[in-house]
């Protein structure tokens, strides 16, 4: 049996060994991480615009469920982050609520929420984007499009997840207002799709895990998930989003993603 003394000595040796790794090894992990992120982004460029139907199921710790029906429309931007709008259709207490997001590459995202009961548009402040979106386990910042420049990266290892060879990639948010200290993603090597993402809070402990699956390919190139499941390990709550009826090339323009268009969203 290893004594406490020997265990302490072993831990010290391990600590010294890790921090005496060649600088080139650390640099290679960073370079490889960035290359993986860029490759994933490049695989999903050129889709233009799309729409989809969403079913959101909120589940509390006791397993009680609440279901919401939504629609989402998105517009790709070549010089900046993408635009998206999510519209709630039912139940009645949230019908007509609409959320607009303008993701940016080098500046904080712009996000707004239209509340029909108040007949006004509420701007989501940058420091509040770590808050829950409409009572779900998704934060407002989770709803932004993926932009490479919003994180720094490090390749951690290769690993098989759900039967697929994956890169395990660590991403650290650049935004000081992010609710996360880091994210760890399992990205399949074949198509560069995110299959699982772990989110770590300000205390650097595991907060949430997102699993993504039921992917379908569109236009012979673009992969979109049919299911996203977010589990909050601190509260025991979870949120599922089922996505269906994807449509591409619907003719959307920037005029469909303005603050005024939020009030007209139907």
Where are the domains positioned within the chain? 40-264
Query: What's the pLDDT score for residue 262?
Result: 87
pLDDT, tens only, 119-163: 889 999 988 999 999 999 999 999 999 999 999 999 999 999 999
- CA 33 to each of CA 38, 76, 156, 184, 229: distance values in angstroms, whole numbers, following the listed order: 9, 24, 8, 11, 25
How do residues 155-209 score in pLDDT, each as one tens digit?
999 999 999 999 999 999 999 999 999 999 999 999 999 999 999 999 999 999 9
Per-residue pLDDT at 14 exceeds 80: no
40-264: CATH architecture: Clam (2.50)
Percent of the chain with pLDDT over 70: 91
Inform me whether the pLDDT recorded for 20 exceeds 60: no
What is residue 151's DSSP assignment?
Answer: E
Q: Residue 116 and residue 108: Cα distance in Å, rounded?
A: 26
Q: Which of 258, 220, 246 is CA-nearest to residue 46?
A: 220
Q: How far apart are CA 182 and CA 199, in angstroms?
A: 6
């Amino acid at each position: 049996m290893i004594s406490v003394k020997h265990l302490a000595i072993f831990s010290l040796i391990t600590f010294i060994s890790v921090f005496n790794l060649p600088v080139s090894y650390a640099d290679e992990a960073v370079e490889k991480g960035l290359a993986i992120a860029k490759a994933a982004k490049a695989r999903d460029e050129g889709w233009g615009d799309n729409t989809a139907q969403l079913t959101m199921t909120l589940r509390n710790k006791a397993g009680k469920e609440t279901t919401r029906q939504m629609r989402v429309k998105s517009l790709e931007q070549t010089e900046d982050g993408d635009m998206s709008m999510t519209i709630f259709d039912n139940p009645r207490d949230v019908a007509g609520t609409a959320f607009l997001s303008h993701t940016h590459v080098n500046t904080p995202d712009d996000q707004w929420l239209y509340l029909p009961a108040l007949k006004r548009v509420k701007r989501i402040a940058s420091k509040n984007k770590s808050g829950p979106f409409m009572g779900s386990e998704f934060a407002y910042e989770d709803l932004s499009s993926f932009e490479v420049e919003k994180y720094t990266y490090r390749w951690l290892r290769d690993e098989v997840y759900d039967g697929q060879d994956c890169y395990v990639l660590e991403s650290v948010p650049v935004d000081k207002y992010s609710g996360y200290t880091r994210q760890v993603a399992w990205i399949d090597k074949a198509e560069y799709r995110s299959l699982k993402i772990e989110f770590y809070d300000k205390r650097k402990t595991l907060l949430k895990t997102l699993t993504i699956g039921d992917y379908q390919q569109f236009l012979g190139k673009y992969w979109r998930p049919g299911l996203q499941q977010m589990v909050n390990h601190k509260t025991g709550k979870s949120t599922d989003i089922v996505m269906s009826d994807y449509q591409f090339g619907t003719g959307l323009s920037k005029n469909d993603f303005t603050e005024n268009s939020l009030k007209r969203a139907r």
